Structure 1
Amino acid sequence: MTEPVESDAVGEPPARGPLRAWIAAHPADIVDLFVYVVVLNLAIQYLPQVISETFTLSLLTAALLKVALEVVLLLKGAVLARLRGATTRPAKTAFALVLWAVAAGSKLVVLWLIDIVFGGAVSLGGFVPVTLLVVVLLMSRAAVRRLLYGTPTAP
C-alpha cells in the first residue's frame, strides 16, 4: 500500500526538489546516461586501453562524458549553422575548418577532462580509442532515442 502524497495546494501536484524536477523534465538525458554506462563498460571489458578501476568510476565517467558531449554537440550545431549560412567560399572553408577543429579537439578535451578528474583511475586510451568510443556512444544514444521516442533527437 502506498502512502498518500501531500501537495502544496489543493489540486496541485506535490512539490519536487530541484533534482527530481530536473530529472522529470529530462528523461532522455537520464536514458542517455544509462546508455553511456553500458557502452563504456562494454569498452572497458573488450578494449584493453580503456580502463576504469571501479563501476562507480565508470558511472561518474559516463556522467562526465554526457556533459562534455552535450557541450560539444551544442558547439558543433552552432558551427554547422554558421557553415550552412555562409555565402562565400572563404567563409565556408573557414567554418569547415572550425568544424573539423571542434570535432578533433573535442576528443583531446575529453581525454584531458578524464585525466584531470580521475587521474590514473580511469583511462580512455588515446585519440583513436576515445574517438571510437565517442562515435559508438553517439550512435547508441541515437538508436535508443529512436527506439523509445521515434526520433534520435527527442527531448
Structure 2
Amino acid sequence: MRTWVVAHPADVIDVFVYVVVLNLAIQYLPAVISETFTLSLLTAVLLKVVLEAVLLLKGIVLARLRGATTRAARTTSALMLWVVAAGSKLVVLWLIDVIFGGSVSLGGFVPVTLLVIALLVSRAAVRRLLYGAADPD
C-alpha cells in the first residue's frame, strides 16, 4: 500500500480534495447528505475511481471523434461523448445508492453534475498549484 501511495501522490491528493469539496457540498447543499465523515471519505474514494474511469473513457471517445473522417462517424462519436457525460452522472448516483443506501445522497442529476464539475475544477486547481503546468497525469 505504501509503495502505491508513494508512486501515486496526485491520486492521494485528489481524494483529499474530493473530501473537502464533498463535505462543503454536504454543509451547504441540503440535497447532498452523508451521515458520517467516514462515509464522506469512502464516497470521495468511490468518486475518484468512477471519475478516473469516466475521464479515461471520455479520452477514448474524444480520440475517436478527432479521428473520425465521415459525418456518420463524427455524429456517432459525438453521441457517444454525450452518453458518457450524462450517463456517468447516473452511474455515480446508482453506485452511491447501491453501496451506501440511504446513508449517502448526492441529490439528483443536477446536484451531482454540479458536484462533479466542482470536483474536477478543484482537482485541476490544486494540481496546477502543486505541479505547475506539468500535470502528473
TM bracket (short chain): over 0.9
| Preserved CA contact (<8 Å) 1:51 1:123 | yes
Question: TM-score, structure 2 length as denominator?
Answer: 0.98
Unaligned residue ranges in structure 2 (runs of 5+): none
Cα drift, residue 89 of structure 1:
1.1
Q: Tell me the equivalent position of 1:147.
A: 129
Residues 1:63 and 2:42 aligned together:
no
Q: What is the Cα-based RMSD across aligned positions, in Å?
A: 0.9
Instruction: Give yes or no for the alignment of 1:49 onto 2:31.
Output: yes
Specify the alignment match of 2:80 in structure 1.
98
Of 86, 103, 113, which aligns to 2:95?
113
For residue 92 of structure 1, report the CA deviation from its aligned partner.
0.5
Q: Distance in 2 between matches of 1:41 and 1:51?
A: 9
The percent of aligned pairs where both chains have the same amino acid is 79
Counterpart-to-counterpart distance in 2, 1:151 and 1:76: 22
What is the CA–CA distance in structure 1 between the aligned matches of 2:134 and 2:46, rounded to whole Å?
21
| Structure 1, unaligned runs of 5 or more | 1-18
Q: TM-score, normalised by structure 1?
A: 0.87
Q: Which has the larger radius of gyration?
A: 1
Corresponding residue for residue 105 of structure 2:
123
- After superposition, the C-alpha distances for 1:49-68 in whole angstroms (9 at most, x for unaligned) are 00000000000000000000
Which letter does structure 2 place at the counterpart of 1:33?
V
How many residue pairs match? The answer is 137
Of Structure 1 and Structure 2, which has the larger fraction of its residues in helix?
2
